[in-house]
Amino acid sequence: MTISQVADEAGVSKMTVTNYFRRKEDLVFDRAEATTRSLAHAVSARAPGESLLKAIRRDCAARIAAGDVTLGPPSATFARIVQNNRVLTSRSLEIADLRERALGDAIAAETGVDDLQQRVVAAQLASVHRVLFAESTGRMLAGESRDAIFEVLAAAAPEAFDLLEPSLGGYGVRADTGVPAGAPQAPGAARAAPLPD
């Protein structure tokens, strides 16, 4: 289906559709932009004394409790549509990559350092969401209910974050700068200590 066909079906102009959805695939992934910013927002909004890991862990728990569709497909039909379409599968993977990159950019902007270590930290932190989404998708395709899936995610997420705790638990702890949580921080406001050996 073309964007013109979508516009005709919706009774709007093609320009209206492209104003809201830059890519045809985002008609399916309507939360793509919010998803790509989600982890970066979680770390940017963390309170003084809170590490990157703790902020992402807290945000993930809240999303699971709310049944957020960014942690798994809304239905088996949606999952099948994406799974059976190479373009949509590729876009789904791209969204996960963009979320990781945005997180790395947020860490780099906050610490004033953009190097391999910052990107590895971002990849590790983003990996939990990537794995939870894959688990959710597999279970949805197997016929499990969303409620049952989110119960599994609620148990699995803390275990996954616990695995990251020894290396990242004290990484990127936000300093008490007197700036309200969520406000832009000066570079270096978070302590990005070297990772343990």
DSSP string, 34-53: HHHHHHHHHHHTPPTT--HH
Pick the range with the lowest mean pLDDT from 50-64, 123-137, 155-169, 177-191: 177-191
Residue 41 — very low, low, confident or very high, per pLDDT cuts 50/70/90? very high
pLDDT for residue 175 is more than 70 = yes
**CATH code 1.10.357 for 31-174:** yes
Stretch 126-137: mean pLDDT: 95
pLDDT in tens, 50-79: 999 999 999 999 999 999 988 888 889 989
Written as six digits, the tokens of 158 are 């803390």
How far, in Å, CA of 147 to CA of 145, rounded? Answer: 5
**pLDDT over 70 (residue 187):** no
**In this predicted structure, what is the pLDDT of residue 169?**
95
Of residues 13 and 98, which shows the higher confidence score?
Answer: 98
**DSSP assignment of 83-142, as one string?**
HT-HHHHHHHHHHHHHHHHHHHHHHHHHHT--SHHHHHHHHHHHHHHHHHHHHHHHHHHT
pLDDT of residue 123: 97
% of the chain beyond a pLDDT of 70: 85
Pair 100, 34: CB distance under 8 Å: no
Q: Output the pTM of the full model.
A: 0.81
Span(s) in the chain for CATH 1.10.357: 31-174
Residues of the chain above pLDDT 90, percent: 62
Averaged over 109-117, what is the pLDDT? 92
Check pLDDT > 80 for residue 1: no
Structure tokens at 22: 């830059």
